[in-house]
């Protein structure tokens, strides 16, 4: 099965610059979303709807973690570090999947503003995952051309190609 791979970001700029751009956008969006959810939780705290507060708190934690992951993404992209980019992708997929449950709960409770913020976060995260995966594949192609050994071969770790993991 062929997994989707891109060669440029938004069909106009190089992949690496696009990842940096989206890393900074993702960082700003995550900070804004976390702030917005924190304000909304504080406003709704008086309404007594604990399910909304818990869902918002869970999303707040996810967006807070997303800020840290965005910093990791920007650093790894500047350094062209394949291991850190893969690590980012694994956590980004887990974070995106974890956001789906609160999103469903928010839609069920008719909290459309918070659901929209969560949905936009998932969409942005999904595109960044595709970009980062493509960059990792490009860095691996360059390393194979230079005959660079995969990272940590002396530790006995098996290097599984990215095409097998889909991440």
What does the alpha-carbon distance between residue 115 and residue 100 come to, in Å, rounded to a whole number?
10
Residue 65 confidence (pLDDT) above 70:
yes
What does the alpha-carbon distance between residue 99 and residue 112 come to, in Å, rounded to a whole number?
15
Residue 8, strand partner residues = 14
Cβ–Cβ < 8 Å for 73, 19: yes
Question: In which band, very low, low, confident or very high, does the pLDDT at 74 lie, cut at 50, 70 and 90?
Answer: very high
Structure tokens at 70: 């965005």
Residue 118 confidence (pLDDT) above 80:
no
Q: What's the pLDDT tens digit per position in 20-50?
A: 998 898 888 888 877 877 777 677 666 666 6
What does the alpha-carbon distance between residue 153 and residue 122 come to, in Å, rounded to a whole number?
35
Q: Tell me what the mean pLDDT of segment 44-69 comes to.
A: 72
Range name among 33-37, 72-76, 86-90, 148-152 with the lowest pLDDT average: 148-152
What does the alpha-carbon distance between residue 76 and residue 96 come to, in Å, rounded to a whole number?
20
Q: Is the dihedral of CA 93, 30, 137, 14 positive or negative?
A: positive
> What does the domain layout of the chain look like in residue ranges?
14-148
Name the phi and psi angles at 9, rounded to 5. Answer: -95, 125
Average pLDDT over the chain, rounded to an integer:
78
The model carries a pTM of: 0.71
Residue 9, strand partner residues = 13
């Amino acid at each position: 099965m062929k997994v989707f791979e891109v060669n440029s970001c938004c069909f106009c700029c190089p992949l690496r610059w696009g990842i940096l751009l989206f890393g900074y956008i993702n960082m700003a969006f995550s900070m804004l979303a976390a702030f917005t959810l924190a304000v909304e939780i504080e406003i709704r705290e008086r309404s007594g709807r604990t399910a909304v507060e818990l869902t918002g708190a869970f999303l707040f934690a996810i967006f807070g973690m997303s800020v840290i992951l965005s910093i990791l993404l920007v650093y790894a992209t500047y350094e062209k570090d394949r291991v850190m980019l893969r690590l980012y992708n694994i956590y980004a997929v887990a974070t995106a999947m974890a956001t789906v449950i609160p999103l469903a709960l928010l839609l069920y409770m008719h909290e459309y503003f918070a659901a929209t913020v969560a949905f936009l976060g998932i969409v942005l995260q999904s595109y960044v995952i595709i970009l980062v995966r493509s960059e990792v594949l490009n860095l691996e192609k360059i390393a194979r051309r230079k005959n660079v050994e995969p990272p940590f071969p002396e530790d006995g770790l098996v290097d599984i190609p990215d095409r097998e993991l889909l991440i």
